[in-house]
Each structure stands twice: as structure tokens, then as C-alpha cells.
């Protein structure tokens, strides 16, 4: 059994948690109307309060509210009183696929006829069982024909679907027949991660660890064949032996979970392992692991092609090079940070971490930081993409920010 990590734990400052219970909206019939009711109103029905809920709903909502671009509110409790939707501009439902959720969307469609709001279906994962690899331990949640059919019906009831990448857009169009699908990439909140880069510290840690560079992989157990359903074939299959063979050369770090086949090296403390952290503490923790390189290997399949490039973008914002699988998911990454084979993986790690070429390393970080800074959520064009989807119909000529991604 793996107990508490024997490795030094990065310092994590205390974080004030976000409220999980929505505050009831004031009655739209109130005689004393607050100023906010002159703004657009948005209602979001969350799938969860974890990563997906934050990336796609809660963080954009927080920025919209802070800027005064509208009054947005999220909940997981479905409100069935039609009066609650008076004055609502747009309702967004996230990854809804159960029978109960389908019936609720039908209710919203009926209310829509009176109140005229728009309905968006937001999804950032593939929910079709044939696209989810067998090694993914969460496949069971979508492994029914009912889920598939409900998803298709719901998607064809709404006014627009939003997804994270172009491959997912094409896949959902093919699977559902719905054409009105819009790409809104994941953006990094500046207040969450954007202010943690420290160039002096990056240089110091590169020198301190030059004899045994620190290489970081972050990911949940969904990436590994933990139940031996595929004979060990999973997202780390191609690089697993290389990791095992280089534990004396590199300090490998796993955050979240690790492949079962590397369990012995974790127990022997040859691989550093840290348990997953709450989302709000995650960037501080990762920044303080002092890694010189992150890696993002994946199996090439439709599920992984539908992932966003957010792992690479996070690394750019933190000023850490990230070596990614060469596939559409990571087309944002420059060629020198993409690999197809384990031989390329090995060669590019050597090249990236070459101490004799340290000025090249720091120069590349500067270029990566420029990529990351373009994906900060608070930028007008990025939060503007969210607002355009909320406020304008699909295909509208008023959309200028969304054109970059669609």
C-alpha cells in the first residue's frame, strides 16, 4: 500500500473555497429592481463542481459577473418553476444525459416558448461508449444505449452545442446530426494560475536539478488500465518501460495516479508520487514541484483526440516545457515539443534538458509563455467568445471572437 508521500510537499497557501450553493435570484416581478436586472441573465446547470464544471462554467461565470457583462448563476438543482426564468437570456446545460435530465430539457423547451431564452448544451468529453477506451475506469458511467440516445435527443433539442476542440465538434456532428456546434477552447484564469511564473526561480531550479532533472506527469487513474481490461495497454504503454529504465537519470514525478506496473518503483521511492489536490490548490502545488519538464503521452483514439490542449496551455502559463503526444489534441504545441514514438520521446527529452544548451531552454520558455498568455480567460477576446455564444444565435455575423476558433 502507498501511504503518505515521503517526498517534500510543496507549500500551498490557504484558499478560500467557492460557494457551492447558488444564491436565489431576486424575483423579476419585484417593484424595487436591482441594477443587475438591466443586465443579461444567464443560468447554468452544472454537471459537477470539479474540473469540468470550473473550466467550462464556473470560471467564465466569475469573470462575466466581475466585469459586469451580465448576471450569471450556476446550480445543480433543476428549477421547475417557469417564473424563475423570466428575463433569462440563456440557459446552459452541461453534459446532461439521463432520462430525468432529458425530461427537464423538454420542460425548458416549453418554457422557452414564453420567455424566449436560448438553450446551450455544453460538453467537454465524449459520452458515446464506443469512443471511450476500455482502460478508462469511468467508461461504465456511459456504457448504456439509454445514455447515448438521451444525449442525441437532448443535443437535437437545444439551440447550440459548445465543445472544447474541433475534433470533438466534428465527432458530435457525425454522431448526432446536429450542425450547430461551436468550439470554445479552455482558457486559464489569470487569478488561478496566471501569476505563478517566476523566471528567477525557473533558472535556479534548472541549475539545481541539472544532474537529475525533474519530469512531471499529472493525470487521474482514468489514463491507466487499472482493472487489466486491455492487457496493460493504456495512455502510458509506449513510454512506461522508458520511465522504468531512467529512474536513476531523471526524477519522475506522478501527481494524481500512477500506472500499476510502476507500483514497485513508487514503493521503493524511485518515483515520486503525490495524491491529487483540490482544484483551487492545484496550480500552487504544481508550480512548487519545480519540474523542468512536463510530459503528456496519450493513446491515439477518438476519446483522446477529443481532449482539449489545456495540459499544454497550463504548462506554458507556468513556464514549464511540456512534451506532448503528436496528435490533433496538441496541435498548439510546436514541433519540437511533440513526439510519435518512444525513440522520439527519449531524444526530445535529452534535447530539451541539455544543460549545455540552457539558453535555448530559457528562450523556449519565453516563447511558450507567449502562447500561454494568449489563452488567459480574462482577456477581452477570450471571455468575449463565451459572451458571444451566450448572447448571439449560432452563425450570427455579430460573432467576431468565436471566428478564431470556428
Residues 6 or more apart in contact with residue 371 via CB below 8 angstroms:
313, 316, 332
Read off the pLDDT of each residue in 266-279 and give the average, rounded to a whole number.
94
Cell triple for residue 339?
A: 513526439
Q: Could you state, in order of their start, the residue ranges of all structural domains in the chain?
A: 37-187+377-404, 190-373
Q: Are 169 and 175 in contact (CB under 8 A)?
A: no
* Predicted pLDDT at 366: 96
Are 86 and 117 in contact by the 8 Å Cβ rule? The answer is no
Residue 30's pLDDT is what? 45
pLDDT at 164 over 70: yes
Mean pLDDT value across residues 352-367 = 96
The answer to whether residue 302 scores a pLDDT higher than 70 is: yes
Sheet of 214-219: strand order equals 272-275, 251-256, 214-219, 293-296, 322-325, 338-339
CATH of region 190-373: 3.40.50.2000
Give 306 or 134, the one with higher predicted confidence.
Answer: 306
Does pLDDT of 20 surpass 50? no
| Greater model confidence, 14 or 27 | 27
CB count, 10 Å around CB of 1? Answer: 4
User: Mean pLDDT lowest for which of 141-145, 192-196, 235-239, 306-310?
Assistant: 141-145
Map grid coordinates 436591482 to a residue.
Answer: 34
Domains 37-187+377-404 and 190-373 in one fold: yes
Asked whether residue 266 carries a pLDDT value surpassing 50, the answer given is yes
Distance in angstroms (rounded) separating the CA atoms of residues 292 and 202 = 8
**Angle, CA of 106, 107 and 112, to the nearest 5°:** 95
CA 36, CA 70: separation in Å to the nearest integer? 7
Q: What is the mean pLDDT of residues 341-363?
A: 96
**Tell me, what's the pLDDT at 37?**
56
| pLDDT confidence of residue 139 | 79
240-244: average pLDDT = 96
% pLDDT > 90, the chain = 75
Extract long-range pairs of 110-116: CB within 8 Å, 24+ residues apart: 111/82, 111/85, 114/82, 115/82, 115/85, 115/86, 115/87, 115/88
Which residues neighbour 370 within 8 Å (Cβ) at sequence distance 6 or greater? none
Torsion 163-167-169-171 (CA) sign: negative
On whether the CB atoms of residues 271 and 7 are closer than 8 A, the answer is: no
Q: What is the mean pLDDT of residues 27-43?
A: 63
Thinking of the domain 37-187+377-404, which architecture would CATH place it in?
A: 3-Layer(aba) Sandwich (3.40)
Amino acid at each position: 500500500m502507498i501511504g503518505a508521500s515521503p517526498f517534500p510537499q510543496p507549500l500551498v497557501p490557504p484558499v478560500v473555497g467557492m460557494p457551492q450553493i447558488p444564491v436565489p435570484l431576486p424575483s423579476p416581478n419585484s417593484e424595487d429592481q436591482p441594477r443587475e436586472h438591466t443586465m443579461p441573465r444567464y443560468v447554468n446547470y452544472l454537471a459537477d463542481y470539479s474540473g469540468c464544471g470550473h473550466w467550462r462554467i464556473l470560471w467564465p461565470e466569475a469573470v462575466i459577473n466581475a466585469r459586469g457583462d451580465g448576471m450569471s448563476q450556476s446550480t445543480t438543482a433543476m428549477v421547475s418553476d417557469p417564473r424563475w426564468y423570466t428575463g433569462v437570456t440563456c440557459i446552459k446545460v452541461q453534459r446532461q444525459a439521463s432520462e430525468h435530465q432529458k425530461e427537464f430539457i423538454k420542460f425548458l423547451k416549453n418554457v422557452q416558448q414564453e420567455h424566449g431564452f436560448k438553450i446551450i448544451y455544453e460538453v467537454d468529453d465524449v459520452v458515446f461508449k464506443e469512443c471511450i477506451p476500455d482502460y478508462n475506469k469511468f467508461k461504465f458511467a456511459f456504457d448504456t444505449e439509454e445514455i447515448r440516445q438521451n444525449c442525441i435527443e437532448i443535443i437535437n433539442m437545444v439551440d447550440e452545442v459548445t465543445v472544447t476542440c474541433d475534433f470533438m465538434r466534428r465527432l458530435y456532428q457525425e454522431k448526432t446530426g446536429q450542425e450547430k456546434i461551436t468550439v470554445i477552447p479552455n482558457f486559464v484564469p489569470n487569478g488561478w494560475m496566471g501569476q505563478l511564473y517566476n523566471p528567477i526561480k525557473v533558472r535556479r531550479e534548472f541549475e539545481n536539478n541539472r544532474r537529475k532533472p525533474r519530469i512531471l506527469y499529472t493525470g487521474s487513474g482514468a489514463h491507466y488500465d487499472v482493472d487489466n481490461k486491455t492487457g496493460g495497454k493504456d495512455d502510458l504503454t509506449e513510454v512506461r518501460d522508458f520511465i522504468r529504465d531512467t529512474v536513476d537519470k531523471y526524477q519522475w514525478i506522478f501527481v494524481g495516479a500512477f500506472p500499476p506496473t510502476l507500483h514497485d518503483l513508487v514503493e521503493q521511492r524511485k518515483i515520486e508520487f503525490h495524491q491529487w489536490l483540490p482544484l483551487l490548490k492545484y496550480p500552487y502545488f504544481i508550480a512548487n514541484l519545480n519540474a523542468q519538464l512536463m510530459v503528456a503521452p496519450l493513446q491515439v483514439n477518438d476519446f483522446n483526440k477529443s481532449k482539449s490542449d489545456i495540459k499544454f496551455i497550463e504548462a506554458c502559463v507556468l513556464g514549464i516545457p511540456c512534451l506532448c503526444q503528436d496528435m490533433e489534441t496538441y496541435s498548439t504545441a510546436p514541433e519540437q515539443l511533440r513526439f510519435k514514438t518512444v525513440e522520439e520521446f527519449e531524444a526530445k527529452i535529452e534535447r530539451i534538458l541539455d544543460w549545455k544548451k540552457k539558453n535555448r531552454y530559457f528562450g523556449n520558455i519565453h516563447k511558450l509563455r507567449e502562447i500561454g498568455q494568449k489563452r488567459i480567460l480574462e482577456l477581452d477576446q477570450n471571455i468575449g467568445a463565451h459572451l458571444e455564444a451566450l448572447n448571439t444565435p449560432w452563425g450570427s455575423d455579430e460573432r467576431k471572437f468565436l471566428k478564431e476558433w470556428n
